[in-house]
Amino acid sequence: MANKKDTSQGPRVGVVLCGAGRFDGSEITEATLTLLHLDRAKALISCFAPDSPQWSVCEHFGGGGVPGEERNMLVESARIARGEIQSLKESDAGNLDALIIPGGSGVVRNLCNFAEKGAKGEVHVGLARLIRSMHAAHKPIGAICIAPAVLALALGAHKPRLTLGPSNEGPALDAAMAGAEMEACDVGDIIVDNRNNLISTPAYILGQGPAEVNRGIELLVKEVLKRIGC
């Protein structure tokens, strides 16, 4: 059921980032496509990122780590948001109608420690607070690529229906152990959890290029907005 909000000035949608780059932060294409479709819908976008160091720094030409280098998630995410971004601690579910989390390996290292601890992982305190507040208010949350793992950890007690692409491989099995009900999903489709008001899509877990992952991301954004009466 859609939450009927006053969206006369545009739906208020939060987007959580955690750096700039698929190896150590947010996946830039997924984040950009999310922002594109929200902007086309005249959404009032608020980007957030933790004001703290990334778990690690990777160079994206060869994919290796950069020993001794430190980068701040908020500062790096500002590259994607063109400087229009706030610290995650400033986020307030009361000021948002919906929330979307793009993917990228940084999501399971910076926003939680799912990459290291799987089902026993924990979510960044500020993000866990925001997710649980949005969920308690039955406001829609979209999760792209690996980001559904964050929802599995934060909302596992509520048995969320989610996808990480294949339902019988490593990350999906760990998410299931955290309490999620995992479903297989094609790159161009979405999984909708009506009970918990969650929407997820595999994106680059399965996709090979921007046009391919765009299909699922566009569907996800449209479904999120539909649920707030847009």
- The count of domains in the chain is 1
- 3 falls within a domain: no
Say how far apart CA 154 and CA 123 lie, in whole Å.
Answer: 6
- 121 falls within a domain: yes
Catalytic entry in 58, 145, 185, 230: 145
88 contacts 48 by C-beta, under 8 angstroms:
yes
pTM for this model (two decimals)? 0.93
- 4 falls within a domain: no
The label of the residue with tokens 């990350």 reads 171
Please write the tens of the pLDDT for every residue from 131-167.
999 999 999 999 999 999 999 999 999 999 999 998 8
CATH number of the domain encompassing residue 122: 3.40.50.880
Domain that holds residue 183: 12-226
- 2 falls within a domain: no
- 145 falls within a domain: yes
Among the residues of the chain, which ranges form H helices? 28-40, 73-81, 114-117, 125-136, 148-155, 170-177, 210-226
Q: Which residue has the higher pLDDT, 2 or 44?
A: 44
- 7 falls within a domain: no
Say how far apart CA 75 and CA 72 lie, in whole Å.
Answer: 5
Could you tell me which residues come within 8 angstroms of residue 120 by beta carbon, excluding any fewer than 6 positions away? none
- 185 catalytic? Reply is no
Structure confidence at residue 70 (pLDDT): 81
